Structure 1
Amino acid sequence: MKKKVALFFCGLNLYAHPHYFLDSSLQIDENIVKNFWKFDALNSKILMFDFDKNKNKILDKDEKEEFLKANFYKLKANNYNIFLQNEEKEFEIIPQNVEVLYENRKLTIYFDFPYELKGETTFCTMDEKIYLAYKLEDLKTNLKTDIQKSEYDYCIGVTK
């Protein structure tokens, strides 16, 4: 019986699918990565309904902070769903200049973080629970890149 229960719960993970779909745009330079995560229109509408308390179609300062606590800062446990490693080390992601904006009916999280490009560097999105799907929409860089994409995430190899 225990085996059947274990197989049932293992099988549930096989049918996991993302809850949010994000169009991701990046700017990668030698010392900084700038991220733009844009939610799809449906989820943006739902999130605005939940967090825009005064219904003015703008996330005010307190509303932004509540949104970030609920939907962004808790990603810290998984390094903000970002894997960044060069030949020497894996980087801890420490977001800076975090901003949330609602325009054209879509909610966008902007943030950047420093790193040091040394040799080959790998940048990947990885959500181990598959709650967020990251679609790479745009990449701006003067560096050499090798990009691999799937339905839910992407990896970019970066070199000078």
Structure 2
Amino acid sequence: MVAFSLPGQANAHPHVFAEAQLRITLSADQSSVTSLQHFWRFDEIFSSTVMMEFDKNLDLQLDPSEMKLVSETVYASLADYNYFQIVTVNGKDVLMNSPPSLTTTFENDQLTVSFESKPNKPLMLAGRIDFGVYDPTFYTAIDFLTDDNLVVDQLPAACTRTVIRPNADEAISQNQKTLTDAFFNDPTGTDMSKIFATKLELSCGAKG
């Protein structure tokens, strides 16, 4: 079965590639984050693999029932990995609710995945907040091709927005003690792929 993370087969490099977009929506008073809207477009090779596996009637397209099965499979595959989301406040992980569902489509022979997730508790615009996506197994590489693919609706003037794209060599050097031979042989038990992920960082003054 096609999966986004295949722990038994993963090595220290990705096998699947996707372009990402992320839109962050805020409350009406601009004091808190209400939701994250994700959109991913997968590479043609992986997309064709999905097509071949789920095209049960062999008509070279996915009908609504087949596409529904794709969505259910993707949803289940991502559940154990927090849907590849990074959300932190001052370096501490923020618990996100599982999205109620996700949508998959094929556009120009490429698989797209979209879903919306919401914080488990109120996520105030205060301190340093980071958002991004990453696959902890290193099997899937999801990245934002341009900074404009990370959007915040109506960011208040009290906050600054920075896109952080880690340098791979610097990330490895700074985390050398953790990057052991065991990690390179089997990265699935670590969380180290997070250090290579592109992130949107919001820095906001404390809210009273």
The TM-score normalised by the length of structure 2 is: 0.61
1:99–1:57: structure 2 CA closer, same or farther, 3 Å change rule? farther
Q: Could you list the runs of 5+ residues in structure 2 that have no partner in the other structure?
A: 1-8, 27-33, 169-195
| Aligned counterpart, 1:147 | 163
Instruction: Give the aligned CA root-mean-square deviation in angstroms.
Output: 2.7
| Aligned counterpart, 1:99 | 103
| Aligned with residue 33 of structure 1, among 13, 31, 36 | 36
Q: Percent identity?
A: 24
The amino acid of 1:16's aligned partner reads A
Shift of 1:149: 2.4
CA displacement 1:65-91 (0-9 Å, x = unmatched): 432343332221121121212358612
| Aligned with residue 126 of structure 1, among 127, 131, 134 | 134
The amino acid of 1:125's aligned partner reads V
Question: CA separation in 1, counterparts of 2:74 and 2:93?
Answer: 28
Matches within 5 A, 1:81-92: 81-86=84-89, 90-92=94-96
Q: Could you list the runs of 5+ residues in structure 1 that have no partner in the other structure?
A: 1-11
2:150–2:200 contact (8 Å) kept in structure 1: no
Aligned partner of residue 79 in structure 2, secondary structure: helix
Which structure has greater strand proportion?
Answer: 1
Aligned residues: 148
| Aligned counterpart, 2:14 | 18
The TM-score normalised by the length of structure 1 is: 0.77
